[in-house]
Copies of this chain bind each other. A is one copy, B any other.
Amino acid sequence: MPPHPVEEFTSSSSWAMIEDKFSPFAKETLANLVDFARNEIEPARRVWQAQLPDDPVKRWKTIIPITEELKEKAKKRGLWNLFLSKAHYPEHGVPLTNLEYAVMAEVLGRYGQYGSEALNCSAPDTGNMEVLARYGSPEQQKKWLIPLLNGEIRSAFSMTEKGVASSDATNIQTSIRRDGDSIVINGHKWWISGAGDPRCKLHIVMGRSDPDNKDKYLQQSIVLVPADHPGVKFIRPMQVYGYDDAPEGHGEIIYDNVRVPLSNLVLGWGRGFEIIQGRLGPGRIHHCMRSVGAAQYALDLMIQRVTDPKRKTFGKFLYEHGTIVSDIAKSRAEIESARLLVLSAAHQIDKFKAKGALKEIGIAKFVVPTMAAGVIDRAMQSYGAEGVSQDTPLARMAAGMRTLRFADGPDEVHIQQIGRRELKRAQHLHKLSAELAKKEAALFRAQRMARL
């Protein structure tokens, strides 16, 4: 069998492990994607950068032409909405498993936001489409899901609040209350990704509708809010390090007596928690796989830099100095093991649903961004000052990776959960130890020996 193009593209060792789990359609789609990435997405990187205005007002009002062109091309090639698995979304989905999409997400991870967007696979739209496909009413789907699936509009997920420890979602303060035939929303959110985009037409807003409910997981509801609705106030874009991530951005937003019809409620009163639980899961793995791709890309850049004859110092290539060869070896090993962790988690989801893969998802979640940050950091060091500047994508990738360490729950939460999950094995282990002690005693007797 000739090597699949993805092997050379990602320089991965893991293809042998997963190849036989790929359908012919998935293999073909992956080859198609690799080709599209190399010939269309990659060359557009700097054009995209150049088409985003510097002006602090205009950059939030621009639809970047190259993105729209890439979207058209991708759609024609059938590289569209690949994240939406038919197994879970029979109506709108694509016949790909999570494992199969994971490898594709890795490829897209080399290009940051614009690469995923080209295939309509970028956050937060992906999760929002999943919410609407799973929980939306037919009317809601018609109005919001279809244009999202077509890449005609974009959307925001409005959950994180200012001044509130949002890793505990029960802390949420935004008020969602019924007032006659309307729902009235009041709250102060921030870090609402995508809300700055001129194409963003929908906020999916989480708030408290029943603050006195004894079950604190039934206090929340989720409501659809048109982005341009009266009372929706965009305060300012939040920065990540010095990046504003225009045009999507991360908005600080006030909902000031926003009034929408009752039909904008999703799923039902008090079911907000249930919805966000369903929204996460596979999406975390997508983040992780993209991070593996980013790390691999950083390593590729580093290899080019340290072998660049123009960069010789003291008569030697950079790679001949200090610990660079060793750094590269460690990066390769770390990427490989993180990749395997993510593939294993993706496959686990395919086999046992997200619920049956919590351990694997959690491990990937706290291992991968830190791994990728380390690899990117070594690459930056090999580029010197250029590595932190606007002339390479490295610093921006580093900032993104740093953010992933608390996006979607800080590392600490995942680490504690995995640790506590392991501790649940204690009872079983103590039981085995007790049995062992008996067998051991019997054996000492059989050998006619005094036990130690």
Q: Which residues does A use to contact B, with CB under 8 Å? A: 8, 11, 13-14, 16-18, 20-21, 38-39, 42-47, 49-51, 54-56, 65-66, 160, 163-168, 171, 190-191, 238-244, 299-300, 303-304, 306-307, 310-314, 318-319, 321-330, 332-333, 336-338, 340-341, 343-345, 347-348, 351-352, 359-360, 363, 366-367, 377, 380-381, 384-385, 388-390, 395-396, 398-399, 402-403, 405-407, 410-412, 414-420, 422-423, 425-426, 428-430, 432-433, 436, 439-440, 442-444, 447, 449, 451-452
Query: Which of these, B42, B403, B422, B429, contacts A388 with CB under 8 Å?
Result: B403
- Cα distance A306–B422 when bound, in Å? 12
A328 touches B384 (CB 8 A): no
Can you add 16 more A-B contacts, CB < 8 Å, to A13-B345, A325-B420, A384-B410?
A: A17-B18, A39-B439, A43-B440, A47-B449, A56-B56, A190-B385, A238-B389, A239-B388, A241-B243, A303-B426, A304-B430, A326-B412, A326-B419, A333-B341, A333-B367, A381-B410
Determine chain A's interface SS by DSSP, over half rule: helix
B385 touches A191 (CB 8 A): yes
In the assembly, how many copies of this chain are there? 4
B241 touches A430 (CB 8 A): no
Chain B nearest CB: distance from A396 CB in Å?
A: 7
Assess A239 versus B389: contact at CB under 8 Å? Given A55-B56, A322-B416: yes
Query: Which of these, B21, B321, B325, B415, contacts A330 with CB under 8 Å?
Result: B415
Chain B residues within an 8 Å CB radius of A403: 385, 388
Interface centre among A241, A367, A430 (most CB of B within 10 A): A241
- Cα distance A240–B160 when bound, in Å? 28
B42 touches A314 (CB 8 A): no
Q: Chain B residue with minimal CB distance to A350?
A: B16
A402 touches B415 (CB 8 A): no
Q: Chain B residue with minimal CB distance to A344?
A: B17
Chain B residues within an 8 Å CB radius of A311: 165
- Cα distance A171–B318 when bound, in Å? 14
B447 touches A51 (CB 8 A): yes
